[in-house]
Structure 1
Amino acid sequence: MKLAIVTAYPPSKVTLTEYGYHLVKHFRLQKEVTEIVLITDKTKEAKDLSFTEEGCKITVKECWSFNSYKNVFGIMGAIADTKPDAVLFNLQFLKFGDKKVPAALGLMLPLICKLKGIPTISLLHNILEQVDLENAGITKSSFLKKAYNFIGASLTKVILSSDILAVTISKYKGILESKYKSRNVALIPHGAFETPPEPTYQLPKGPKQVMAFGKFGTYKKVEILIDAVEIIRQRTKQDIEIVIAGTDSPNTPGYLNEVSKKYKHVDQLRFTGYVAEEDVPVIFNDSAVVVFPYTSTTGSSGVLHQAGSYGKAVALPDLGDLSILVKEEGYKGEFFEPESAESLADAIENIITYDDYREELSKINYKAACSLPMSDITQMYVDYFAAIQMAKAGNISIDTIIAEREKEREMEKEREAVELLVK
């Protein structure tokens, strides 16, 4: 199968870049995939294709840009030139721009591919019904919120025209099936990017690093983390370094620079800037705890899966999607009230003070990450593409295939649970 993947890709700063990298990394190892056509956004630097494992050929087509009105033509031109057997879209609502028209035009691409008869799966990382538009930095206006929700519902219907729409959280599947009466929605978990050898769970010498990772400034606010560590410093003798790993959200340029000025008096506060893929293991391995200073969520958390794969304890806000994800995929952490620095301080202190507890959380999260490696996730997509071909041949309907696949996964989970009880 010659597979086209439409995604942002490192060193791009556009959303879902890292997930795109790991999709490509693991699809190229699937025996059914003979070539990957990487349909990606334009960057000044070369794309990161420094994979060590032997895999299939990758053809790079840099043909779109964030907020460009011409993305549809560039992407469909690349598809016409390369003639893939199937297309996978790695999407969220602001994937192609934070301006209304470019964003909407980009989300019409799955429909165009479907109309051209190309087997199409769209992976939608968030649904507008679950996005807090104000906290996500989109709009505060009540009128505009209603307008966005109307437009969002219309665009969701367009994306649902894909042969299969994949979501990573069961709640999203339920909402889409209930509201839009869809029967082509598949639950495919997010997956863990890497599954390194099991760590020792020991911390490096020196201050304990309390780390937040991501793109900050909208619903990810680092002030609460800094304030929480300052509270801990006032009441304990813990030696702590605060590590803010990542960049500004595209919606809030200059945010981290302003934070660094505001907190320049705070000791042992480090802003790493953009973290290259090869530096990610170091950032996580050196951390005592990974903190999620979120005021809302917009889908499954790649950072949680990364923290698990490196065997790290986590401090999480008690918010909808994260709470669901923790329960569904077997992660565990210290929860805190989303806007309370005191509550976050308690959560961090519980983890860094008691090494046995920190190691217990770390081991649970590592095990959870190992249960859903990206190799398994990409195989699910390969299986679904094969199912689409079967459906097009008239042998079976898509909704029947989805139901059968998900029933098989539930039975597998039950078998694993029984095996754990026996042990």
Structure 2
Amino acid sequence: MPDTTIAVVTALSPSPTTLAEYGLHLLTALGRKRGVRIVALVEDLPLAYPDIPGVEVRRSWRFGSAANPWRIARAARAVGADAVILNAHFTSFGSSKVSAALGLLTPVLLRMHALPVITLMHNIVETVDLASAGFRSGPVLERILRTIGTMLTWVVLRSSLVTTTMPRYVEILRSKYRATNVALTPHGSFGAPPPPPDAPSSSTTVMTFGKFGTYKKVETLIDAVRSLGRPDVRLVIAGADSPNTPGYLAAVERAYAGPDVLFRGYVAEEDVEGLFRSASVTVFPYTATTGSSGVLHQAGAFGCPPVLPRVGDLEDLVQGEGFTGSFFEPDDVDDLARAIGSLLDDPEERARIARENHAAAVGLSLDEVADWYLIHVGTLVHRDPLSLLGQQGVRELHEVS
């Protein structure tokens, strides 16, 4: 059988667009699979994208462009795709309501070109806090936006298959939309680093990592760290602005700059492990979530205990995937300071959390998740779920099962 061409539509690091890091790791895993040709359809940006073994990178769409569905469909046909995997989020294709919504028409347009489409949706409108996610509006407009979001979900469900990383999302899509083409695909770990040492780091560095400005803000975190009154504690803010809030971190740095707070900026992929291992705790200063957290998986893999807010999806993920940490109430400076301080003062608890979270983070690799996608593509394209796996993949699948 000739190679099957799979086009993967995704943002790709070092793009600042959401899901770029997940896109990088998913492509890396797919690129290791034999018997398939992987073509990444990524943003047309003046960036030096990484060379990923086994993956061809084609610049095909632009964040914020209303023409993205047509550009992506044209690119998929140009590379001779047999199937398309769409790595998506409700704001993957634009920060405005129009560009974000139009981008979600992509699965329908691809199906009109007779291309099987698997859409990985990292969030759904029923669980998103629209105001926190950057769509600030009054109650009437929010109801309108949720109605539009429901309509767009119906559109996305025209995909050949929709997968999500959260069991709760599968339940909602099956119960509310009566969808029968929905499956759970675990988030997967980005790698399998060695377990954390028995003795935790003596560092007093508090770290946060992500794309900030919407439902991830750092002002409360800065206030909480400073309220500890400990000159030995340093806060590192690593990452970039959310595409919805350009300039956010620069404004915070102007207002809060000091020797106790370091604004690290963008972190290259090869430096991520060192970032986590140099910190005592990783704080998630979220007021809402929009799906599974890649940063939580990274913190677990690299042995850095998390300080987590009690918010819906993130708490579901923590409980469902075996993670743990120190918890706090969102937007509560005193409670956040308590949660951070309790871990800094208890090295044995940090070590326990690091061990448990490492086991949860490396339990299922993205290499194994990539095999699941090959099973779905094999079913859609060749009507044989094992046609793209090969003997080694079949053995690994049986071992996981």
Deviation at 1:202? 4.8
Matched, 1:7 2:10: yes
Deviation at 1:390? 5.8
Distance 1:371 1:32, change over 3 A: farther
Deviation at 1:72? 2.2
Q: Does the 8 A contact of 2:200 with 2:351 survive in 1?
A: no
Matched, 1:43 2:45: yes
Cα distance in structure 2, aligned partners of 1:71 and 1:300: 25
Deviation string 1:172-197 (CA, Å, 9 cap, x unpaired) is: 11111111100111011111212212
Residue 393 of structure 2: aligned partner: none
Residue 30 of structure 2: aligned partner: 27
Deviation at 1:353? 0.8
Deviation at 1:32? 4.2
Residue 247 of structure 1: aligned partner: 240
Distance 1:335 1:115, change over 3 A: same
Would you say how many aligned residue pairs link Structure 1 and Structure 2?
A: 386
Cα distance in structure 1, aligned partners of 2:117 and 2:232: 51
Q: Does the 8 A contact of 2:213 with 2:245 survive in 1?
A: yes
Q: Does the 8 A contact of 2:10 with 2:41 survive in 1?
A: yes
Cα distance in structure 1, aligned partners of 2:313 and 2:198: 27
Deviation string 1:74-98 (CA, Å, 9 cap, x unpaired) is: 2111111111121100001111112
Residue 136 of structure 2: aligned partner: 139
Cα distance in structure 1, aligned partners of 2:363 and 2:64: 37
Residue 268 of structure 1: aligned partner: 260
Q: Does the 8 A contact of 1:176 with 1:182 survive in 2?
A: yes
Q: Does the 8 A contact of 1:216 with 1:247 survive in 2?
A: yes
Please show how residues 46-85 of structure 1 align to structure 2 within 5 Å.
Answer: 46-49=48-51, 51=52, 55-56=53-54, 58-85=55-82
Amino acid of the residue matched to residue 13 of structure 2?
Answer: P
Residue 390 of structure 2: aligned partner: none
Deviation at 1:354? 1.0
Cα distance in structure 2, aligned partners of 1:60 and 1:377: 21
Residue 214 of structure 2: aligned partner: 218
Cα distance in structure 2, aligned partners of 1:374 and 1:308: 15
Deviation at 1:45? 2.1
Cα distance in structure 2, aligned partners of 1:13 and 1:161: 28
Cα distance in structure 2, aligned partners of 1:330 and 1:316: 14
Please show how residues 272-351 of structure 1 align to structure 2 within 5 Å.
Answer: 272-351=264-343
Distance 1:43 1:203, change over 3 A: farther
TM-score (norm 2): 0.92
Q: Does the 8 A contact of 1:336 with 1:347 survive in 2?
A: yes
Amino acid of the residue matched to residue 139 of structure 1?
Answer: R
Cα distance in structure 2, aligned partners of 1:110 and 1:74: 12
Cα distance in structure 2, aligned partners of 1:200 and 1:161: 48
Cα distance in structure 2, aligned partners of 1:282 and 1:202: 17
Distance 1:76 1:280, change over 3 A: same
Amino acid of the residue matched to residue 40 of structure 1?
Answer: V
Cα distance in structure 2, aligned partners of 1:379 and 1:193: 14
Amino acid of the residue matched to residue 41 of structure 2?
Answer: I
Deviation string 1:198-217 (CA, Å, 9 cap, x unpaired) is: 23265566x51111100111
Amino acid of the residue matched to residue 216 of structure 1?
Answer: F
The sequence identity of aligned pairs, in percent, is 42
In structure 2, which of residues 163, 167, 190 is the aligned counterpart of residue 166 of structure 1? 163
Cα distance in structure 1, aligned partners of 2:34 and 2:339: 44
Q: Does the 8 A contact of 2:69 with 2:109 survive in 1?
A: no
What 5-or-longer segments of structure 1 have no aligned partner?
Answer: 396-407, 413-423
Residue 208 of structure 1: aligned partner: 204
Cα distance in structure 2, aligned partners of 1:24 and 1:201: 33
What 5-or-longer segments of structure 2 have no aligned partner?
Answer: 386-396
TM-score (norm 1): 0.87
Q: Does the 8 A contact of 1:88 with 1:121 survive in 2?
A: yes
